Amino acid sequence: MSGVPGAEALAATAAEAIARRDAVQANLLELDGSFGKRLLDGAALTGTTQRKWEAAAAKLAELWQTFTAYSAVVDRIAELTQARRPSQKDTPELAGLLAGRCVRLTAAPAPLARRDLADTGRREVTLATAVGAMRRAFSEVTEVTAAAETVWHDTGGRLDAVGAELAGAERLLAGLPDDGIAARLADAQASLAAQRAALNTDPLALWQDGRADTSAADLLAGRGAGIATEIAALDRVRRDARGRIGRLRAQWDAARAARGDAAAAWQRAAARIAGVPPLPPEPAAPPLDRLTAHAAAGRWRELAGELDSCESALAAATTQTHAAERSVVALLDRRDELRGLLDAYKAKAARLGSAEDQDLAARYDHAHVLLWTAPCDLAVAADAVTGYQRAILAMEGQRR
């Protein structure tokens, strides 16, 4: 008995074996109930997925067979250690179960060309060997189920989003012009159905380099988004056609009013300032009757294009009109600024005691005539004021 471990050591090893068996069983049950395994089991598989799952399913069946034989040995170990400390008469059996080749496995016969003449198809392995074999098989099976589950999740989520977007677009399609957009929508829906079918029957064909290849789904998502956006835009035009035409009419009225204000400001400036630049041309009237006819006939794409063009043109024309008005007002402001500057330097000349200087007086009179003559040549007047200013500053410098 010297070669048999002590009862306490055997009890501890037995407890470890029981705990390990329970962990193996829990993981196998979780695998059996996993989303990926259930989907693979229930789908009509083809191609890569069919080949890989047939191999994995056979490996899983073998794994359960090994577990059944392995668990039977562990159950006997549990019986022998119910009292926590095995009896002396049971220690040899317990030691043999824990360390010996006591797990009896039955394998499917090898092909005849590779079969040994004396091969019975049965073999006996240790608990550790059985666990090692199950661990390898478990890894192989979960690699397949996890890959399929990832593909279903990553690609399926994208396809669900595309499906929802296309369904929403289809609901808006009724009543829109049939200029090819319905055919493009139908083509996208057909592509979606084909990708769904491929995903359901052969998900592992999309498993590339350790990740789900979602490129086809992403491409379809881009197509679907473009179609849905186009349909939604046409639907918005349809729903707001009357409102947009009304707002365009109001925009036209506002543009004309702004043009009138700018023209009045231009007239005031032109009477006082020489060389006032001309106003931009009047904005073109929008084709309101044609736009209304488009809306009445349901020509939403034509209506959208013309509305966009008219709104943009009116906005640009109004911006130019306001800019022109500001520029002519600025010319009058510049004249008034020069008048104030001339008077300020005249006061400065008086403080310097040079008010009677004939050169300064002549310079002042010249600038004054230019600034108070209509229409005023601002460039010439500005030069005259600058000359008067420099002459005063030079005189001030000489007296210091």
Each domain of the chain, given as residue ranges in start order, spans 7-109+118-150, 154-237, 241-327, 331-398
Look at residue 258 in the predicted model and tell me its pLDDT.
Answer: 94
Closest CA to 185 of 205, 165, 159: 165
Which residues have CB under 8 Å from 377's CB, separation 6+?
Answer: 274, 275, 370
Closest CA to 262 of 244, 247, 249, 281: 281
Q: CA 277, CA 274: separation in Å to the nearest integer?
A: 9
The β-bridge relationship of strands 211-212 and 122-125 is unpaired
pTM: 0.65
Look at residue 1 in the predicted model and tell me its pLDDT.
Answer: 43
Look at residue 152 in the predicted model and tell me its pLDDT.
Answer: 94
Look at residue 12 in the predicted model and tell me its pLDDT.
Answer: 87
Structure tokens that stand for 86 in this block: 């095995």
Look at residue 84 in the predicted model and tell me its pLDDT.
Answer: 64
SS (H, E, C) 84-105: CCCCCCCHHHHHHHHHCCCEEE
Q: CA 262, CA 264: separation in Å to the nearest integer?
A: 5
Q: CA 22, CA 165: separation in Å to the nearest integer?
A: 48
pLDDT by residue, tens only, the chain of 400 residues: 445 567 778 888 889 999 999 999 999 999 999 999 999 988 899 999 999 999 999 999 999 999 999 999 999 998 888 866 667 777 888 888 888 899 988 866 666 777 666 666 688 899 999 999 999 999 999 999 999 999 999 999 999 999 999 999 998 887 776 668 889 999 999 999 999 999 999 999 999 999 999 999 999 999 999 999 989 988 888 899 999 999 999 999 999 999 999 999 999 999 999 999 999 999 899 999 999 999 988 888 899 999 999 999 999 999 999 999 999 999 999 999 999 999 999 998 888 887 678 889 999 999 999 999 999 999 999 999 999 999 998 887 777 6
| E strand map for the chain | 103-106, 122-125, 207-208, 211-212
Measured over all CA atoms, what is the biggest interatomic distance in the chain, rounded to whole angstroms? Answer: 142
- Within its chain, how far is the Cα of 269 from the centroid? 54
Residues 130, 70: contact at Cβ < 8 Å?
yes
Which residues have CB under 8 Å from 140's CB, separation 6+?
Answer: 56, 59
Q: Which residues pair with 207 in a beta bridge?
A: 212
Angle at the Cα of 16 from the Cα atoms of 18 and 33, rounded to 5 degrees? 50
Torsion sign across C-alpha atoms 154, 158, 163, 168: positive
Closest CA to 198 of 43, 363, 395: 43
Closest CA to 65 of 122, 8, 3, 140: 122
Q: CA 386, CA 400: separation in Å to the nearest integer?
A: 22
Task: Give, in order, the Cα–Cα distances in Å from 293 to each of 177, 246, 249, 252, 288.
Answer: 15, 14, 15, 19, 9
Residue located via tokens 């904005």: 283
How many residues make up the chain in this entry?
Answer: 400
Cβ burial 242-276 (10 Å sphere, 16+ → b, else e): eebbeebeebbeebbebbeebbebbeebbebbeeb
Q: CA 115, CA 140: separation in Å to the nearest integer?
A: 25
Using DSSP, how many helices (H) and how many strands (E) does the chain show? 11, 4
